[in-house]
Amino acid sequence: MSRLKMGVIGVGGIAQDRHIPSFQLLADKVSLTAVHDVDQSRAERAARKFDIPHVADDYQDLFGKVDAVTVCTPNKFHAEIAIAALEAGVHVLVEKPMAITTDECQRMIQASQKSGALLSVAYHYRYTPEAELAKQAVKNKEIGDPLVTRVQAMRRRKVPGWGVFTNKELQGGGSLIDFGCHLLDLALWLLDDPKPVEVMGRTYDRLSKTPGQVNDWGAFDHESFNVDDHVTSYITFDNGLSMQFECSWAANIKEDHTTLSISGVDGGLSVYPFELYQAKYGALFDSTAKIREGEPDPGLLQAKNFVDSCLGEAELVVKPEQALKVTRLMEAIYESSEKGTSISIQ
Ligand SMILES: NC(=O)c1ccc[n+]([C@@H]2O[C@H](COP(=O)([O-])OP(=O)(O)OC[C@H]3O[C@@H](n4cnc5c(N)ncnc54)[C@H](O)[C@@H]3O)[C@@H](O)[C@H]2O)c1
* 271 vs 329: CA distance, rounded Å: 21
Closest by CA to 277, choosing from 293, 294, 289, is: 289
Please tell me the distance between residue 74's alpha carbon and the centre of ligand 1 in angstroms.
4
Q: Which atom of ligand 1 is nearest to the CA of 163?
A: 19
Query: Is the CB of 208 inside a 6 Å radius of any atom of ligand 1?
Result: no
Q: Which atom of ligand 1 is nearest to the CA of 43?
A: 39
The pLDDT of residue 296: 86
> Per-residue pLDDT for the chain (346 aa), expressed as one digit of tens each?
589 999 999 999 999 999 999 999 999 999 999 999 999 999 999 999 999 999 999 999 999 999 999 999 999 999 999 999 999 999 999 999 999 999 999 999 999 999 999 999 999 999 999 999 999 999 999 999 999 999 999 999 999 999 999 999 999 999 999 999 999 999 999 999 999 999 999 999 999 999 999 999 999 999 999 999 999 999 999 999 999 999 999 999 999 999 999 999 999 999 999 999 999 999 999 999 999 888 889 999 999 999 999 999 999 999 999 999 999 999 999 999 999 999 999 8
Query: Is the CB of 172 inside a 6 Å radius of any atom of ligand 1?
Result: no
Query: Is the CB of 96 inside a 6 Å radius of any atom of ligand 1?
Result: yes
* 121 vs 195: CA distance, rounded Å: 20
Q: What is the CATH number of domain 126-296+326-344?
A: 3.30.360.10
Distances (CA, A) of 177 to 85, 144, 156, 166: 23, 31, 17, 11
Segment 309-346, tens digit of pLDDT: 999 999 999 999 999 999 999 999 999 999 999 999 98
Distances (CA, A) of 227 to 204, 297, 334: 8, 31, 11
Please tell me the distance between residue 23's alpha carbon and the centre of ligand 1 in angstroms.
17
The pLDDT of residue 1: 57
Protein residue closest via CA to atom 6 of ligand 1: 14
43 neighbors 55 (Cβ within 8 angstroms): yes
238: exposed, middle or buried (C-beta count within 10 Å: 0-12, 13-18, 19+)?
exposed
In the chain, CATH 3.40.50.720 sits at 4-121
Q: Residue 283 CB: number of other CB atoms within 10 A?
A: 7
Q: Which atom of ligand 1 is nearest to the CA of 11?
A: 39
Pocket mutation for ligand 1, best pick of 50, 73, 175 (most atoms within 8 Å of C-beta): 73
In the chain, CATH 3.30.360.10 sits at 126-296+326-344
Q: Is the pTM of this model over 0.75?
A: yes
Q: What is the CATH number of domain 4-121?
A: 3.40.50.720
* 115 vs 119: CA distance, rounded Å: 11
CA angle, corner 125, sides to 120 and 126, nearest 5? 65
Q: Which atom of ligand 1 is nearest to the CA of 124?
A: 1
313 neighbors 319 (Cβ within 8 angstroms): no
Closest by CA to 176, choosing from 13, 341, 331, is: 331
Query: Is the CB of 160 inside a 6 Å radius of any atom of ligand 1?
Result: no
